[in-house]
């Protein structure tokens, strides 16, 4: 038996410290929180994805009274990007959350299902996708979606 140690590099910064391109992506994600349909949780989530050709695709969480039928902002955004631009890589994804009349002070982390979809989106193009989690007090930048889901499950796992 041996013990393994997993490490993840995360850059913590204020939004003002980001480059203009990343700040723009964060601002688009923040704007999308206002388009969320979340009458049950009142937790507004917005996401924005920058494609390799510079386009920005956005989405927000969409709840449903039958809870499993709703969808998170990350997945609405990535599914829209992949459905409409299947040959164009997603380079970066920004996520922002708004509740109780303000943006969250701490960056909220994506759920497990969203992490898996983020990983699949990254994996299908064979290049890392940067992920930015916005918080008013601190933002977190991951160089790859895989950093959010260590010991992940990808297509090669299906082959045995």
24 assigned to active site: no
CA pair distance 73, 18, nearest whole angstrom? 22
CA pair distance 160, 150, nearest whole angstrom? 19
If we measure between CA atoms, which residue out of 111, 2, 3, 137 comes closest to residue 47?
111
3, 16, 27, 74: the active-site residue: 74
If we measure between CA atoms, which residue out of 96, 141, 97, 92 comes closest to residue 121?
92
CA pair distance 98, 104, nearest whole angstrom? 6
CB 77 within 8 A of CB 47: yes
The residues assigned a catalytic role are: 74
């Amino acid at each position: 038996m041996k013990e393994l140690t997993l490490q993840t590099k995360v850059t913590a910064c204020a939004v003002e410290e980001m480059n203009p391109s990343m700040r723009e992506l964060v601002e688009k994600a923040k704007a999308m929180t206002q388009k969320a349909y979340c009458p049950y949780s009142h937790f507004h989530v917005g996401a924005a994805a920058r494609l390799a050709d510079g386009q920005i695709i956005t989405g927000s969480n969409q709840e449903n009274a039958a809870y499993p039928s709703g969808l998170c902002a990350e997945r609405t955004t990535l599914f829209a990007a992949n459905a409409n631009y299947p040959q164009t890589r997603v380079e970066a994804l920004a996520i922002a959350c708004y509740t109780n009349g303000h943006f969250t002070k701490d960056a909220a982390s994506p759920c497990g299902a969203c992490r898996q979809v983020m990983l699949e989106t990254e994996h299908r193009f064979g290049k890392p996708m940067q992920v930015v989690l916005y918080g008013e007090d601190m933002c977190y930048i991951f160089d790859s979606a895989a950093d959010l889901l260590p010991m992940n499950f990808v297509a090669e796992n299906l082959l045995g």
